[in-house]
Amino acid sequence: MKVPSRLQPLVEDGLIDDVLYPLMSGKEADIFVVRCGRDIRCAKIYKEAYKRSFKKAATYTEGRKVRNSRRARAMERGSSYGRKQQEEVWQNAEVDALYRLAAADVRVPQPYGCFDGVLLMELITDEEGDVAPRLGDVTMSAEQALEDHAVLVNYVVRMLCAGLVHGDLSEFNVLVDPQGPVIIDLPQAVDAAANNNARAMLLRDVRKVTEYYGLFAPELLDSHYGEEIWELYEEGELSPERVLTGQIEQDDTPADVDSVMLEIKAALEEEQERQERMREAELGPDAD
């Protein structure tokens, strides 16, 4: 096919040999299937920053570190130079997250770098080598749903242990290949320790995928994995090997009424004795 202009520089630099076909055109990116040597890969072209909502970007980028202060100031001012910088930070966030997550044993497409606003990555495929379906296009048995849900929840745990929260996890941003779920679409991943919205985002991420798997295994709908994960994280007790129950501790032990009554009685008796002692003291030893 005719090479899209945004991919032209990568073709010229020899990073891409052939553009095969367009895969998807989303809100924030256009995705093409490309050939790099003997490998079939995926090229994600980010749309211009001005097409995105900057209000949304502001919640997501909170806490993201920008070391160069000229850059930081420009971004705050929102100047056109600033916008360009902001866009680069946004794009690098996805490639950074992919490298960090691959290193943390979370299944994501293998990244091959980000050049001129184009992310090159592994194409996730099915047994036949066709593009893998999204989780939202897949139906499954209850058993499979429980198994894949557990895998995905473990990926959320591994991500958090690596300091990241996806922030837009759902059945649309998970692909399913023969080995299981693969997480995609990470430009908005947030730094868990520095972002005030991290807990809310993690709870929403877990709730969304749980609701989807819950269509096939309804017992999942009573679980509280998100809350449990965040609690362990805050207590410093989260690790990828940690066994989760999906239940959070609620204080529902029946109140022990008898022992409360005994304590009240004892307190009353003590008070009575105190008052008697005071009366005696007031009256004095030789009052009669």
Q: Which of 11, 20, 23, 36 binds ligand ADP (CB under 6 A)?
A: 23
Q: 187 — phi, psi (to 5°)?
A: -65, -20
Cβ atoms of residues 199 and 224 within 8 Å: no
Residue 113 lies near ligand ADP (rule: CB under 6 A): no
Q: Which of 29, 93, 120, 138 binds ligand ADP (CB under 6 A)?
A: 29
# binding residues, ligand ADP (CB under 6 A): 22
Question: Under rule CB under 5 A, which residues in 182-211 are in contact with Mg ion?
Answer: 185
**Contact partner, 164, from Mg ion, ligand ADP, none, Cβ < 5-8 Å per class:** none
Residue facing ligand ADP at closest CB distance: 26
CB of 215 to ligand ADP, least distance (A): 19
CB of 169 to ligand ADP, least distance (A): 11
Stretch that binds ligand ADP, among 21-29, 200-208, 229-237, 276-284 (CB under 6 A): 21-29
Residue 101 lies near ligand ADP (rule: CB under 6 A): no
The C-alpha atoms of residue 235 and residue 138 are separated, in whole angstroms, by 36
Residue 49 lies near ligand ADP (rule: CB under 6 A): no
Interface characters, 135-174, with ligand ADP (x: CB under 6 A): -------------------------------------xx-
Closer by beta carbon to Mg ion, 166 or else 224: 166
In one-letter notation, the amino acid at residue 208 is: K
Residues marked active site are found at 168, 185
Q: Which long-range contacts (CB under 8 A, 24 or more apart) does 276-285 make?
A: none
What angle in degrees, to the nearest 10, is found between the helix axes of 225-234 and 142-161?
20
Query: What are the residues binding ligand ADP (CB under 6 A)?
Result: 23-24, 26-29, 31, 42, 44, 109, 121-124, 131-132, 134, 172-173, 175, 184-185
